[in-house]
Chain A
């Protein structure tokens, strides 16, 4: 958030369960327009295939947010 306020491109990553908290935090901090990348909950206790799915989901979300392919 401090980076974004200083003009550095930045965003926030949250899982689905924490999306409302992350969105509220951005609004409360006055940076509601900051990109919010949301991936499936949970992160902890996941087997490797679950981690891979989230990584792929995160890349798709990131591409959608920044509009370019890696």
Chain B
């Protein structure tokens, strides 16, 4: 295996390695695993493909995303080799033009690619979709999410304040990766809904804000919970609704909320329809600020003059995704997208021996 990355000679101490990487602006501010030749080769061993194969040029500096460079960053993030196929698939998905990675990388909006892993590989590598799934404690979630960020910074060149122009950034930019809680999902999981087989594993990348909490401790039926979801989704300050054709919403229902909703007999499609019809703001509210005056709306919305008219925040129910994740409790989350990036799905295809080369 021939690798081309520069070899650094550094003192054999964690502190020295960490300092050297910080000085070169090669990390996110947290300690890294030194990407030694052996570790990088081990990472590359988990996937099919030549180390110099490029998945494409990553914006905003348009540097080639070779498997070698991706593996270096996956090692630094603390990934196991079995995690690497997920990282690779996510990069492939982010390079789909529909995802508009340049926009995601360079915008002032606090968008981060949320990675959702659906299917059996999530269980195989311990990708967590249960209690606290958006938070700390789970290696696969933390390191796969972190690897994505390190790749976007080190290969893409999205350094905060220089080429990543996010006004405030987001905690989601450190690591933003979860699995679905398929065991607690009363409906088909996302990948099956999209037409993949149940035994396939699929990565979704969604250019979203950090999760917005949905607290509903009192509703005993679907309508109450979904009204709370809808109200959380429809806010003046969110990008969603201003560029309507690109607006998408992700609903991450907690298992208890999902069970209550499904218990009332609602399908996923009916959940989407309900939220589409109720997550709306009156024209008069939209005129108060946000992006009023520079919005991109279809003609029928531009023609509305009655300030009491309720206007949708996405173009159709199909622009709403529904998954189940989390553990016990009466909380769900709404993740609005950035409105210049559409969700992309890719099946895992580069697995070698379950993620380990023999």
Contacts and interface: CB of A to CB of B under 8 A. Distances in A.
Interface in A17-40: 17-18, 20-21, 24-25, 28-29
Contacts of B165: 17-18, 21
A26 B262 CA distance: 52
Contacts of B63: 28
Contacts of A44: 294
A39 B8 CA distance: 41
B162 A20 contact: yes
B60 A25 contact: yes
Contacts of A20: 162-163
Q: How many of chain A's residues touch chain B, expressed as a range? A: under 10
B62 A21 contact: no
Contact of B162 (A21, A28, A29): A21
A24 B163 CA distance: 8
Contacts of B294: 44
B254 interface: no
Nearest to B105: A21
B4 to A, nearest CB: 20
A28 B106 contact: no
Interface string B170-199: 000000000000000000000000000000
A41 to B, nearest CB: 11
A54 to B, nearest CB: 15
A20 B158 CA distance: 12
B62 A29 contact: yes
A31 B335 CA distance: 37
Interface in B293-330: 294
Contacts of A25: 60-61
A21 B106 CA distance: 8
Interface string B55-98: 00000111100000000000000000000000000000000000
Interface in B22-68: 60-63
Interface string B155-173: 0010000110100000000
Interface string B83-127: 000000000000000000000001000000000000000000000
Contacts of A18: 165
Contacts of B162: 20-21, 24
A20 B165 CA distance: 10
Interface of A: 17-18, 20-21, 24-25, 28-29, 44
- For the complex of A and B, list the 4 residue pairs with the smallest distance between their C-beta atoms, beginning with the closest: A28-B62, A28-B61, A21-B163, A25-B60
23 contacts: A17-B165, A18-B165, A20-B162, A20-B163, A21-B60, A21-B106, A21-B162, A21-B163, A21-B165, A24-B60, A24-B61, A24-B157, A24-B162, A24-B163, A25-B60, A25-B61, A28-B60, A28-B61, A28-B62, A28-B63, A28-B157, A29-B62, A44-B294
